[in-house]
Structure 1
Amino acid sequence: MPEGHSIHRLARQFSSVFGGERLTVSSPQGRFAAGAARLDGHVLEAAEAHGKQLFLHFDHDLYLRIHLGLYGAFDFGGDETFIGSSSIGAPRRLGEQEVAGDDGAGYSGPPEPKGAVRVRLVSKHGWADLRGPTACEVVTEAERQKVLARLGPDPLADGADGAAGRAAEFTRRLRSKGSPVGLLLMNQEVLAGVGNVYRAEVLFRRRMSPWRLGRSVGEAEAGELWDDVVRLMNDGVRQGRIITTEPQDRDDTGEPVPVSEAHYVYKRTGLPCRRCGTPVAGTEMGARKLYWCPSCQAD
């Protein structure tokens, strides 16, 4: 499932290639026909992300709310002016895919839909196809606010003047819970946007046991967790991938960072910890794979 940095990159992509454009909206698959009819012919004013939620803001205060989930993904294509920050999708697509729209004969519009395209958005210069989302619905501003009210703070939210408030809110929500911190970091009502990779990596970097209870985490420790999540996720937005290792902890210090050197514990079960040599452990927590170092992250 794409984590929050991917959804923020996707919002930038939409703002870049569709912002201010009047769009033709359809549902080739048919499952979103009524919603597409409500948005067809409207102008996309902005694209916003909060955690794993994407909101495409159309005029008349209508929003297309999308949660990609495990299988959702976008394809983009268009003419030579249709250049954005690249599309984001589920890991099965390796994160990013743009489809060439000019074979030398000039752009003549989007291709015939392939597969189960839930939503197609088309402007004068390009198109985007959405397949397989967990959630896809048209909502009003009031309905959007209800969704946001259920979510925890987003480490990637804009506005430096609100950063301290977001950190304090995360600390309050984390320390009010009696559940393991390994579950809480992936609870979108505690922290919006963190998924399995960031969960495992941040806990390792802070030398914190995944089974430590939220209410036992001190305020300073919670603040350090928050700061590291903010740093790593902002790096993810810039780089388009999750890299959590520091240069001194990599065997290969070249650029770009190889996939095998990008993480400390994620998907490294049985391999030696990069810092202490103890074999990385793996189990399940909350129906998701969990990775940690039994020595560096001892209770």
Structure 2
Amino acid sequence: MPEGHSVHRLARQFQDVFAGERLQVSSPQGRFAEGAALLDGHVLEEAMAHGKQLFLQFGNGLSLHVHLGLYGAWSFGGDSSFTGASSIGAPRRIGERETGPAGDEPVYTGPPPPVGAVRVRLVSGHGWADLRGATTCAAITADDVRSVLDRLGPDPLRNLPGDREEFVRRLRRRKTAVGLLMMDQSVLAGVGNIYRAEVLFRQAVDPWTPGTAIDAETAGRLWDDTVSTMSDGVRDGRIVTTPPRLWTGGHGSAPDADAHFVYKRQGLPCRACGTLVGMTEIGARKLYWCPACQV
């Protein structure tokens, strides 16, 4: 499932290439036909992400609400002014790296015929965007948007005033293992399996520690490191949590094999202490950790 940095990159891309444009909205697949009709012909005013939720706010007071889930992805295309990636979404569909660029059509004559089950298509004078495979795709009101946001914890990539303190409060009031709380969207919005494993390792926190046993200073460090690593993900379009000194060659971009400390490295030596990285399941998700560093 895409983590929050990908959804924020989507919001930025929609804001850059579609905001202020009157859009044609359709559902080639047909499953979103009624919702598309409500949005068709209206101006996209703002794209906003919170955690893993994307909201495209239109001038008629409605928003397109999208949660990509395990298989959802957006594809883009257009003329040379249409900048950004050509695909952002679920790693199971496109891999952990984005593909692009989107504006690679020298003579733009409109969107191509839809390929596959396109749930919704957005078209402007300069480009297009297709959504496939999303868990949630709905036209909702401003009250509905507020209802969704009320169910979510603070988003490290928005990092609004008071968010750090609210995360610390929510984390420390629960007896649940911190390894589960870091992926609980009502505690911390946007974190998935990779950031969960990597931040807990970087801060040397035992994933099975109850939230109530985490002191405020440690909880604050978890928030700060999540803000930092996810912000890097927004900048780079991929998740890299290791420093350049650990990369093959020591400079440039991190090879995939060097990008993480523990994620998907079970059975390999810990980059810090040499102990073999462990892997188990917690909350029906795979958890990666160092049994020596995270005690």
In the alignment, structure 1 residue 206 sits paired with structure 2 residue 203 = yes
In structure 2, do the counterparts of structure 1 residues 211 and 252 end up closer, same or farther at CA, with 3 Å as the change threshold? farther
Q: What is the TM-score normalised by the length of structure 1?
A: 0.95
Aligned to 2:260: 263
Task: Give the counterpart letter for 1:142 in structure 2.
Answer: D
Paired residue secondary structure (1:154): coil
Percent identity (aligned): 63
Name the aligned partner's letter for residue 156 of structure 1: L
CA distance in 2 between partners of 1:112 and 1:282 (Å): 44
Q: Is the 8 A contact 1:76 1:127 kept in 2?
A: yes
Which moves more between the two structures, 87-96 or 275-284?
Answer: 87-96
Deviation digits for residues 142-201 of structure 1 (CA, Å, limit 9, x no counterpart): 110000000000001165xx1xx1000000000011100000000000000000000000
Equivalent AA in structure 1 for residue 29 of structure 2: Q
1:96 and 2:93 correspond: no
What is the identity, as a one-letter code, of the residue corresponding to 2:224?
D
The alignment partner of 1:221 has SS state of helix
Displacement, 1:247? 2.9
Alignment of 1:15-164 (within 5 A): 15-84=15-84, 87-91=87-91, 92-94=93-95, 95-98=97-100, 106-157=107-158, 159=160, 162=161
Q: Which amino acid aligns with 2:192?
A: G
Determine helix, strand or coil for the equivalent of 1:88. Answer: strand
Residues 36, 136 of structure 1: alpha-carbon distance in 2 compared, 3 angstrom cutoff: same
Displacement of 1:269: 0.4
Local SS of the residue matching 2:140: strand
C-alpha distance in 1 between matches for 2:87 and 2:49: 14
Which residue in the other structure is 2:9 paired with?
9
- The separation in 2 between residues aligned to 1:145 and 1:63, in whole angstroms, is 11
Which whole-Å deviations, capped at 9, do the CAs of 1:25-60 have from their partners, x for residues lacking one? 000000000000000000000100000000001002
Aligned to 1:228: 225
User: Is the 2:76–2:85 Cα contact (8 Å) retained in structure 1?
Assistant: no
Give how far 1:251 is off: 4.9
CA distance in structure 1 between the partners assigned to 2:56 and 2:256 by the alignment: 32
Are 1:246 and 2:248 counterparts?
A: no
- Matched position secondary structure for 1:76: strand
Displacement of 1:96 in angstroms is 2.2
1:118 is paired with a residue of what secondary structure?
Answer: strand
Matches of 2:86 and 2:181, distance apart in 1: 31
In 2: Cα distance, 1:96 partner to 1:241 partner: 8
Question: Deviation per CA, 1:218-247, whole angstroms, max 9, x where unpaired?
Answer: 000100000000000001100111111123
Distance in 2 of aligned mates of 1:158 and 1:294: 31
Amino acid in the other structure paired with 2:188:
L
Partners of 2:50 and 2:190 within 8 A in 1: yes
Tell me, in whole angstroms, the C-alpha distance in 1 between the residues paired with 2:98 and 2:202.
27
Asked whether the 8 Å contact 1:45–1:58 carries over to 2, the reply is yes
Which consecutive unaligned segments of at least 5 residues does structure 1 have? none
1:203 partner letter: L
Q: Structure 2: how far apart are the matches of 1:38 and 1:285?
A: 41
Q: Could you state the TM-score of these two structures normalised by the residue count of structure 2?
A: 0.96
Q: Is the 8 A contact 1:74 1:88 kept in 2?
A: yes
Q: What count of residue pairs does the alignment treat as equivalent?
A: 293
8 Å CA contact 2:82, 2:102 repeated in 1: no
Distance 1:80 1:269, change over 3 A: same
CA shift for structure 1 position 79: 1.2
